Structure 1
């Protein structure tokens, strides 16, 4: 909240409005239970000798679903025409080794939904499935959604939620059951005009489809409720351009940064931290604009190519490779494997953090050899990192405009659902480009204290009479837009 308080002080934010925004409206914590299936877990090396004479078992291959930890989820169909030899709960899978049968059991998972502010419209924010989530994290992320929706100038507030779970530790059926149970518990708290979830880390369009089904099951006018979640598949009410929207919005900001200097991204170089939805799509779009992709890091490893990475080939290696269970860039054969610390030493024009928060720390910022940090992730730069970047003259596109493309197109999806319409990708991207670039220009004008009214944007009412950094300028824009609702509508009694 450091940036929030700094911007609030600069604009003299009304004390009561500040108090309304300092804490969420609601913090929901609840638990969901799911029955986990039987697993075949690799037998520890120390126990294998006593089963050395155990005969091999042949099970139906598609009845065993591999997990990241080397175990298999056992499904009943695995026994169709099977030949099984088991002793002491251990069997030897043909060509794989010895495995211990771990019986299925019910498991309890902690779940959250934080609803930060709805002054400008329904709560809006993603559903995150990750093992490291917490109430404090979701409070921060929900507040960031309040700022982001205001900056994007869409009529939503901010929210965030999810489940404390590593989705890669579950089978597809278990993940579906967990998702449906989460929505069963969440349903009284959300709605298409109350709180509208969307994908986030660990969730995608398929998860949104499951949430939609569970929410609308049994409802008489279920199609009127299609807008209860966004980020859906286009075949069930999703918007064209939504999958690439966050990366596309960041690319539009980067284009504006270059245009302000009389050039384009063509011929520039960039490094990327994170190769999920945001990172991979940003890389593909920038490469399409003529930029060179030098290096990328994700949770599994880091790769580098001085001649440039082929983003489409890399995407196929990560996402269309059945043997790459971790969905990681590590092991990509057409690049050098380097350490994560070496990533920050790669000389480039752009550094794009597009994974989790807190990556660009003070020491990392000291090492960077770039001209611009363009934030695709939420909160990737620490306050110390910000200060070091400013001292070194490295410019910044802050996250709350850099990754606002996702929530902007979520709004377009919501409108289409309300109207029972379906827009073309060309129309969606045209609207997105206008929205992102106009708001980026307003933030730039606030930062430089150059109030202007043009055919595309009007920054006159937002400039504060002094120059400020881009992150604070973005927060000033958000707070002025939110404060206007309290000033003009007043407070309910």
Structure 2
């Protein structure tokens, strides 16, 4: 089943059939949430079929939800980038960015990065890559995407340095950092050697393979791992599930938690001379074990 190409009716039937099938597990053992090609409408369908309001997060606002369409994941990604830049003494306004994936995460990452003064030079979607070394504008990219279905249809004027590239071409561009915001394993042993960016921020889950991550680390390329960088959506889901949070309060919580976590991970990685993912996993393990001991 491919939710991206399914009809609305087929998608609804699949979502609600699944919801009814796992109803005995909800919400004590299973809580649904949005992800790729799944949004607030799908969560509404899930809850209506399940019959329990807390069986899903990311619901529409009118159902008491905090829809991920607010941009919580993309916002968290940008909080992570800002903290990493501060940690290494870099000014966001001097950084150039490539965004791989232009769905919920990628579009909001672009929006918030632009607001902080970073220059987004490349955006990729399933049709290809559009690159402008002089910088793209969020409004133009969004307008073109909505009207034509792809960012590669941005106009190229006479004398412009803009160009269109094939899918995957974004990874070889001379940008400061790349935000992955689509699928797993897009950076792998086949393209890791060609990466020119000095920072990879995983807005998508497991977008860098373990082998590629190790090679990039050996080359001095920072990979800010998914479990820290893209936690904004999960934090939003927690806030909704717990209750008492609106958009503003949720975004404050996202910034607070991700900023603290990124700083903690980068300090541990530098001190122990290990990859940030190794540091993040060690910190997470200690927290989980510590919580378990407290509950005994």
TM above 0.5: yes
Secondary structure of the corresponding residue to residue 70 of structure 2? coil
- Does 2:11 align with 1:199? no
Residue of structure 2 in register with 1:480 after alignment:
286
Residue 428 of structure 1 is aligned with which of 250, 264, 284?
250
Q: Indicate yes or no: 2:174 matched with 1:174.
A: no
> 1:213 aligned to 34, 48, 51, which one?
48
From 174, 183, 186, give the equivalent of 1:347: 174
> Do 1:231 and 1:243's aligned partners in 2 also have CA atoms closer than 8 Å?
no
- From the two aligned structures, give the one with the greater strand fraction: 1
Q: Which has the higher contact order (CA 8 A, sep 6+)?
A: 2
Q: How far apart are the structure 1 equivalents of 2:174 and 2:103?
A: 23
Quote the residue 1:305 is aligned against. 132
Deviation at 1:404, TM superposition (A): 0.7
1:363 aligns with 2:199: no
Shift of residue 371, structure 1, vs aligned partner? 1.6
Out of 208, 223, 235, which is 1:408 matched to?
Answer: 235
Deviations along 1:355-384, one digit per CA (max 9) or x if unpaired, are: 111111123221111121111110011122
2:159 is matched with none
CA distance in 2, matches of 1:178, 1:208: 12
Q: Is residue 122 of structure 2 the alignment partner of residue 316 of structure 1?
A: no
Please report how far the alpha carbon of residue 488 of structure 1 lies from its aligned counterpart in structure 2 after TM superposition.
4.2
Query: Using the alignment, how far apart are the partners of 1:446 and 1:242 within structure 2?
Result: 33
Q: Distance in 2 between matches of 1:175 and 1:308?
A: 37
Mapped to 2, the partners of 1:247 and 1:266 lie a distance apart of 18
CA 1:368–1:194 in 2, change beyond 3 Å: closer, same or farther? same
Taking the aligned partners of 2:124 and 2:215, their CA distance within structure 1 comes to: 22
Unaligned stretches of 5+ residues in structure 2: 157-161
2:269 is aligned to 447
| Structure 1 residue 314: Cα displacement | 1.5
Cα 1:433–1:242 change in 2 (3 A) is farther
Compute the displacement of 1:261 (Å): 2.8
Q: Using the alignment, how far apart are the partners of 1:227 and 1:441 within structure 2?
A: 32
1:242 and 1:478 mapped to 2: Cα distance? Answer: 28
**Which of 271, 281, 284 matches 2:98?**
271
- Contact kept, 8 Å, 2:44 with 2:59, in 1: the verdict is yes
1:203-242 equivalent positions in 2, closer than 5 A: 203-216=38-51, 225-239=52-66
Gaps of 5+ in 1: 1-164, 217-224, 450-465
The DSSP-based 3-state class of the residue aligned with 2:155 is coil
1:290, 1:265 → 2: CA distance? 6
SS at match of 1:340: coil
Contact 1:296/1:304 (<8 A) preserved: yes
Question: Could you say if the C-alpha distance between residues 406 and 341 of structure 1 is closer, same or farther in structure 2, counting changes exceeding 3 Å?
Answer: closer
Mapped partners of 2:166, 2:207: distance in 1: 19
TM-aligned CA deviation for residue 241 of structure 1:
6.9
List per-residue Cα deviations over 1:35-92 (Å, max 9, x = no partner).
xxxxxxxxxxxxxxxxxxxxxxxxxxxxxxxxxxxxxxxxxxxxxxxxxxxxxxxxxx
Count, aligned residues: 291
Structure whose residues are more often helix by fraction? 2
Deviation of 1:260 (Å): 1.5
Mapped to 2, the partners of 1:305 and 1:272 lie a distance apart of 12
Q: Secondary structure at the match of 2:78?
A: helix
Cα distance in 2 between the residues matched to 1:169 and 1:467: 45
In structure 1, distance between residues paired with 2:236 and 2:270: 28
> Would the aligned equivalents of 2:32 and 2:55 in 1 still touch at CA under 8 Å?
yes
TM-score, normalization: structure 1?
0.56
Q: d(CA) in 1 for partners of 2:291 and 2:82?
A: 32
